[in-house]
Amino acid sequence: PTVKYIPRTPRPHRGQMDPAGPALDHPAADLLTEYATFGCPANTGNDWTIDELQAAIDVGPHVSAMVPEAMQQLQEEVAMKISNGQVKVFLWDDLKKNLPPKLKISRIAMIPHKSKPYRAILDLSYPIQFRDGTIAPVNETTTKTAPRGSMDQMGQALQRLIYAYATADEDKPIFAAKEDIKDGFWRLVAEEGAEWSFAY
């Protein structure tokens, strides 16, 4: 097949998303462009108080992140993400003096991974014990905006591929490719101010 080069149009955008070329013909192109330009919207509920934030700090990371090898890898990953513009590091003592309105702190965990010893994940579903109750986790208080059934569609991708192969013209070749962006999640930057809800 003939490949046509489509130049990118420089424009200001948040993060590292920059839909261009064939991606602009996708049904979700306008939405992707909006996310790339302004960031992904995230309404994570009421702001946390200083006492609630301190409770989250006191809980600390998941026990898996306290293994020396995991701690070393996390430090290296954070350094890399800082250089990529995907993470910023602040001291808690500095933040306490001027709290960002949307600041929420979740536990970081380090789980075994097939291509490296550990993979860092942010546990947004862990409820934090606070006084006589718990602080609802970020996942629980976040307003859901994805279309209904979107995750179900994700789980049916393999079935659609099999169907496409089974019904394809036997006299024509089938071209297929799989791309895996290891830091894809980190390229989806939240809209300005909302990134504070995903601190760890």
Encode pLDDT of 119-136 as tens digits. Answer: 888 999 999 989 889 999
Whether 10 has a pLDDT exceeding 60, the answer reads: no
Least confident of 2-6, 79-83, 164-168, 195-199: 2-6
pLDDT of amino acid 189: 85
C-alpha to C-alpha distance for 153 and 75, rounded to whole angstroms? 36
* Distances in whole angstroms, Cα of residue 25 to Cα of each of 5, 12, 29, 32, 57: 15, 21, 6, 11, 45
Give residue 21's pLDDT band: very low, low, confident or very high (50, 70, 90): confident
Question: Quick one: which H or E segment has residue 110?
Answer: strand 107-112
> Do you know the residue count of the chain?
200
Q: Does the pLDDT at position 111 exceed 70? A: yes
Radius of gyration of the chain (CA): 21
Cβ contact 197:102 at 8 Å: yes
In sequence order, which ranges of the chain are alpha helices (DSSP H)?
A: 29-38, 50-59, 68-83, 92-95, 138-141, 150-155, 157-166
CB-CB contact of 154 with 161 (8 Å): no
Report the chain's mean pLDDT, rounded to a whole number: 86
CB of 55 closer than 8 Å to CB of 37: no
